Amino acid sequence: MNTRPSGGERTAIVTGAARGIGAATAMALAVRGIAPALFVRDAGAAAGIADKIRARGVACRVEACDVADYGSVRAAVARTADAWGRLDVVVNNAGTVEPMGFIADTDPAEWARAYAVNVIGAYHVVREALPLLLREGGAVVNLSTGAAHTPRDGWSAYCGCKAALAMFTRSIAKEYGDKGVFAYGLQPGLVDTEMQVSIRRAGINEISRIPREQLDPPERSANAIAWLAAECPADLAGQDLHVSHPAFADIVVPAQAETR
């Protein structure tokens, strides 16, 4: 079982990597030779994608981690650092669209939980990863959304969280870009994931009425994320980039990989 990267092999942390965009991103990084550590709440849920990555001859770790819990993140990053000795990429993919509902109807604890996962969780991972990223230089990619810039009925928590995350991306770029750590936001658009299933079930705004056949596969966003991680384009640092941005138009994927 290949769990340790070879000498000089770049490594990454991908949160929420058990399925959807997170799992596709872990595979896209592996295709580019970047060994991913899968940070997931349920380690067993990521076993399948980890096995596929190792079958390609790329190292992979699975870490049980709740990004909203700083102690959990700190321990998981420390274990990864001890095992691999380096870190080059962080992909903050873990997130929740809940609670969905008009403001007066939402539960305060669920609203706070959304910020704990979507914003504070990303901060926890970056905070612990920065000393490692600063050694070699690298990339932070935060999963964003158009909802960070356009309010949607029933998504007050999600829109607010992602707006805060977009500013966090800019802050990382401003504070650490000249030290070789480049940060990007990636807006995946409408993707065929479990989150979209929840959105359709809620039926609360126009996004919920978009047919599933019009949704993108997770691999499109995953390839854009992996390209940012591999290339670290300085001119795009700090920006919140939609997957349709011209920079992603000519991405050459080293090899196709099945993630679902």
Instruction: Give pLDDT tens digits for 137-187.
Output: 999 999 999 999 999 998 899 999 999 999 999 999 999 999 999 999 999
200: CATH = 3.40.50.720
Q: Is residue 1 part of a domain?
A: no
Give the active site residue among 52, 123, 162, 176. 162
Question: CA 171, CA 175: separation in Å to the nearest integer?
Answer: 6
* Plot region of 53 (φ>0 → left; ψ -120 to 50 → alpha; else → beta): alpha
Tally the domains of the chain: 1
CA 72 to chain centre: 17
pLDDT at 7: 58
Residue 85 lies in a domain: yes
* 257 inside domain: no
260 residues of the chain, pLDDT tens digit each: 445 565 568 999 999 999 999 999 999 999 999 999 999 999 999 999 999 999 999 999 999 999 999 999 999 999 999 999 999 999 999 999 999 999 999 999 999 999 999 999 999 999 999 999 999 999 999 999 999 999 999 889 999 999 999 999 999 999 999 999 999 999 998 887 777 777 777 778 777 777 877 878 999 999 999 999 999 999 999 999 999 999 999 898 885 444 44
Distances in Å between the Cα of 60 and the Cα atoms of 5, 18, 169, 190 are 8, 13, 26, 28
Active-site entry in 123, 158, 176, 184: 158
162 is catalytic: yes
Q: Look up 158 and say whether it is catalytic.
A: yes
Residue 6, domain member (yes or no): no
Question: Is residue 114, in this structure, part of any structural domain at all?
Answer: yes
Domain assignment of residue 93, yes or no: yes
Residue 142, in any domain of the structure: yes
End-to-end CA distance of the chain: 21
Domain that holds residue 58: 11-242
Residue 252 lies in a domain: no
Cβ distance 142 to 186 under 8 Å?
yes
Do 217 and 189 meet the contact criterion of CB atoms below 8 Å apart? Answer: no
Which residues, other chains included, contact 146 with Cβ-Cβ below 8 Å and sequence gap of 6+? Answer: 187, 189, 242
